[in-house]
Structure 1
Amino acid sequence: MMKVINAQSGWTWVKQGFVLFRKRPMELLSLFFLWMMLTQLLRFIPVAGQFLTLFLFPVFSVGFMQACRYLENEQKITPGLLFTGFQSPHVVALLGSGLLRIAALFFTYWFSNLINDEALSEFMKAAAKTGPMDAGSLEKVLPVKAILLTVLIYIPFAMAFWYSVPLIAWQRMTLIKSMFYSFFAVLHSWKAFLVYFLAWYGLSILVSPLAIIFLGIDINIGVVMLTAMSFIIFVIVYCSSYPTYTDVFGKPDEDNQAAV
């Protein structure tokens, strides 16, 4: 059921993400902007709005994964596809995944502060008081060690969540079982994932020089171009997550399709 993938596959996944995106870029971007619009609307809800975006993230993710499957099968992508997860018989498990993601973030934040003497809390309070800081000021106060430790603490949770959504939606797994399989699938193919994330990190760095070029021409054009490139990269990254699933667990068949 679960295959171990070699390191080279990490770069292959990135390339496959670009291939999928090139098939129907405007339809994918439209789906993304619809998602962003709904997310911004949720943020208007006092207090709960911030948590609702995380809570509903796994449900909306089903729509994006299904969109990637449609791309592979040369099917048309419609805005309604974004709400596929809400029609799934496994919507409760998907919402449970959202709750666990929120809990994982709280635990990571709490544990990091416990070890680092509230370094993250102090930084966030200082940032809230002073507002936006320039690069020099930010470098002086940024708790680099605390942030790195926070990332390390969250990695096991990220591994458990990586495949949980498609495993729930397409393999009909329970929430805990999906997280178990997800964690060990990523662990067994850690070399491929290391290459995958390093590749995306390197590609994202290339955006900055391009932005600087446009900023040198006109600051308004630069900001618009940087924002547009960030949106496109996000969508391509999401497209590339689909082959990470199909390489390890196989392509969802018609029975799996009916599950969503």
Structure 2
Amino acid sequence: MKLNVVPAKTGSLWVRQGIRAFWKQPLALTGLFFMFMASMSILSIVPVLGGFLALMLLPAASLGLMAATREVELGKFPMPFILAAGFRTGADGKRNMVVLGLIYALCFVGVMGLSTLMDGGDFAKLYLVGGSLEVETVMDPDFQNAMWLSLLLYLPLSLVFWHAPALTHWHGLQVAKSLFFSTVACMSNWRAFLVFGLMWSFIFLGTTLAITLIGSLMGDSEFAAMALLPAMLMLASMFFCSTYYSFKDCFTSDTLYA
């Protein structure tokens, strides 16, 4: 395995490749992302440990979506079982994926725990448990501080785990090494990831504004509500497709990914 340092413009290439891959199998990839979200939601309603188990599932599920993108790239149809690719390996692979999920869940809970120092836990409770979001709550300075602190702390956490599941699955790295090399790869290619993040931010924001504007011009207040959900599902699917290409370009190997 070799770490690559790519130019900043490669970030835009990852976005385009992800969008192009999505449109090769739009229904299949959207359906897989919906299954991923549904699985997380079902786990979240399990009393006591449900939310924690859902967080543990996230690294493996994100790997499954990357594996689905690879299937599409190879001209294959991604079947639902591809979402469990991280657990369809040997005992070491399964154990590494479980450990990755456990570390991720503990770190995420830690981020939410630190945010409680700002607002007494309102933001963490809303994010982890759910509930109604009131305007007064959003405008509360303490709530906003908790939100921004969580975002600030989550960014480095996402970099640490960005490539880790794929490195464990396709390159056979142990957990500690996968986390280390994921961090090094993201930091070494920060320019490309900055372009990548900015482009996806503009795409999500631009799509939201366009749908809202169309609804206003049509005089249909329900149009935006009906159109936003499928649009966001499709865009989120495209985003996860593009993460595969970020991994593919940041690392090379003499052996073909299994």
Residue 26 (structure 1) aligns with: 27
Deviates more, 1:147-156 or 1:181-190: 147-156
Is residue 186 from structure 1 mapped to residue 186 from structure 2 by the alignment? yes
Letter in 2 for 1:17: G
8 A Cα contact 2:215 2:223, kept in partner: yes
Which residues of structure 1 form unaligned runs of 5+?
none
Letter in 1 for 2:68: A
Whole-angstrom distance in 1 between the partners of 2:132 and 2:78: 41
Whole-angstrom distance in 1 between the partners of 2:169 and 2:125: 40
C-alpha deviation, 1:15, in angstroms: 0.9
| 1:50-65 correspondence to structure 2 within 5 Å | 50-65=51-66
CA distance 1:151–1:63, change in 2 (3 Å): same
CA distance 1:37–1:155, change in 2 (3 Å): closer
CA deviation profile, 1:140-197 (whole Å, cap 9, x unmatched): 4464344323322232222110000100000000011000000011001111111111
Query: What is the aligned length?
Result: 252
Whole-angstrom distance in 2 between the partners of 1:251 and 1:69: 15
Residue 223 (structure 1) aligns with: 225
C-alpha deviation, 1:132, in angstroms: 3.0
Whole-angstrom distance in 1 between the partners of 2:251 and 2:156: 20
8 A Cα contact 2:113 2:124, kept in partner: no
Residue 209 (structure 2) aligns with: 209
CA deviation profile, 1:195-226 (whole Å, cap 9, x unmatched): 11111111111122223235434333321200
Q: Give the SS at the match of 1:74.
A: coil
Whole-angstrom distance in 2 between the partners of 1:232 and 1:252: 33
Whole-angstrom distance in 2 between the partners of 1:83 and 1:190: 30
2:243 to 218, 236, 241: 241
Whole-angstrom distance in 2 between the partners of 1:167 and 1:235: 21
| 1:1-260 correspondence to structure 2 within 5 Å | 1-89=2-90, 90-114=93-117, 118-119=118-119, 121-122=121-122, 131-134=132-135, 138-141=138-141, 143-216=143-216, 217-250=219-252, 253-254=255-256, 256-257=257-258
Q: Give the SS at the match of 1:219.
A: coil
Whole-angstrom distance in 2 between the partners of 1:150 and 1:209: 25
C-alpha deviation, 1:133, in angstroms: 2.0
Whole-angstrom distance in 1 between the partners of 2:28 and 2:73: 14
8 A Cα contact 1:17 1:241, kept in partner: yes
C-alpha deviation, 1:101, in angstroms: 1.0
C-alpha deviation, 1:109, in angstroms: 2.6
8 A Cα contact 1:21 1:28, kept in partner: yes
Letter in 1 for 2:229: T
CA deviation profile, 1:34-77 (whole Å, cap 9, x unmatched): 22232232233112111111111222223211111111111111
Q: Post-superposition, which runs of at least 4 consecutive aligned residues in structure 1 deviate over 6 A?
A: 125-128
Deviates more, 1:140-149 or 1:41-50: 140-149
Whole-angstrom distance in 1 between the partners of 2:58 and 2:157: 15
Letter in 2 for 1:51: F
Which residues of structure 2 form unaligned runs of 5+?
none
> What RMSD in Å do the two structures reach over aligned CA positions?
2.5
Question: If the length of structure 1 is used for normalisation, what is the TM-score?
Answer: 0.87
C-alpha deviation, 1:126, in angstroms: 9.5
Deviates more, 1:59-68 or 1:212-221: 212-221
Share of identical aligned residues, percent? 27
